[in-house]
Structure 1
Amino acid sequence: MSTTLQIDNLHLALRATRGRAERLILRGIDLDIGAGEVHALVGESGAGKSMVGRTVLGITPPEMRVVAGSIRFLGLDWLGMRPSARREYLGRDIALIPQDPLTALNPGHTIGAQLGDVLRLHLKLDARQAMARAVELLDSVQVRSPAIVVRQYPHELSGGMRQRVLIAMAFACKPKLIIADEPTTALDVTVQRQVLRLLRDLQRDEGAAVLFITHNLGLVAKLCDTVSVIHSGRIVEHGTVRAIIESPRTDYTRALFAATPRYDRPAEALRPIDPGVTDALWARARSYDLAFHARMKADPHG
């Protein structure tokens, strides 16, 4: 299986400001995703999982910078490319499915116009061709009456319909990699199940690799092939979904599973993660930061 995305020793830092030293956000991230693989990146809020996706997409906040490591996409030196060169791939070969479809779509433009923009930019279709293709794409993601929906605005659609529009937009140019960042967070459970099934079916049909960013371990079991568990900007465990679920190796991963509510055991008491487990991970992160900054000071070029 060829590698679509390879991240090696990635370090992302919050730039130094007056009176405050530079602070690491991602600490030595290693991640490989093969062609056609659905890889989950799982962790609590603030663990750094969305920042991994944002770094790949090049949409980190301006006060952050990559201080070490590399990203290769389809064998290309992704971080070494000029931003203008990377933009040729974004939306065409790398697509994003964000978590909030209402804010992701432009409220002032119709669904057809927004899908059409992607198709005209990357596939060089004319306006008529783009509109016809937009209807086909909406039909492929099981949107009812797609010829009507292309003339509607985002606020006229339900949350599930808007998320289907974003999935259609992501798959419009047959990308090699899709970054799905909590794509079902704003949806109810029934719609969530439908959207996940649709995403998996399209992914299998198109053979795209997927980086699925989530805090929901139940979704990982249903959708993904492999999983990395992240805390404090570090990967603490990696493996196949089956291996991680059946025999997690770290205290933190075991605590994550124990803290997940079970629909089949509704009366079972919730088990929050022991603060001692996370305190130990944060202490390790602080020690890592001190050692990393000492190495960088001694040899800024690595």
Structure 2
Amino acid sequence: MTQEDKELSLSPENYSLLTDLYQLTMAACYVGEKIDQRQASFELFARRLPPGFGYLIAMGLAQALDYLEKFRFSSEQVDALKSTGIFTNAPNEFWSLLAEAKFTGDVWAVPEGTAIFPNQPLLRIEAPLWQAQLVETYLLNTINYQTLIATKAARMRDIAGNDTKLLEFGTRRAFSPQASIWAARAALAGGMDATSNVLAALKLGRKPSGTMAHALVMAISAVEGSEEDAFKAFQRYFPTAPLLIDTYDTLAATRLLAQRVKQGEMQLSGVRLDSGDLVKLSQEVRVLLPEVTIFASGDIDEWEIARLQRENACIDGYGIGTKLVTGVP
């Protein structure tokens, strides 16, 4: 048994091995049966949508094309496959095929951001049979996940309306660091205004967005001061960023801030609620801070946004994480 690679990071040179074993065993069979070069057509589509979904937003094509352009097997990768012992009976021509591998097919796809419906192809691959088979897993991975996230984001935008600020906060809940980048990209394409993921934002040419953490309030309160001292410290360095006001007592914090604003001691652009009865709390915060933007977070999805709207919550924007990036329909 070889030693585990503890880094387990994904790089472009590993793309071709990021596949299911049966894609490789099928390719070996095609070679042995001398049908590997036959032209084939593979289509990616959804037979049905999750309950309550009327459409999907196609996403992930850019990463799919990048994968196809870099589709190669190095000599080290071929040797690694041989060392498994799984392919002992595979024809010799199979190894030659992998050593010279390059995607030579054609790709037909709807543009990213397109609304699609059941049985409508997102993508079609026309290529020699062995190539069309081998690329299936990676294409499904990138397109399925990003399409789901873009669709969720679009549904949230549809419900929230154009004037509501929607921020993607899902990095810590995403399935992996790579998934967090894809999720941020898909969420922005689906209608989110910004992401808190710094790397994703910078790679996408966007400015990251966020508020503050409970940890700052707790740290300053524990070491040298109070919640108000934490607010002052955060505003000292980030004067236009919203304050997180529910660490201890939301309404007590709101009254304190309202007093400081009224006395002209501070300017406040926004506050964030992360817990509690968001309807009641947002209404009370609005009364005390009528000119301040109110953000809400904490297991928000399109269904929760719709409920909050029905119950007349006073919320101007949402930070959305878990229910977006984990892909729960």
TM superposition score category, shorter chain reference: 0.3 to 0.5
Q: Please identify which structure carries the higher strand content.
A: 1
Q: Which has the larger radius of gyration?
A: 2
More relative contact order in 1 or in 2 (CA 8 Å, sep 6+)?
1
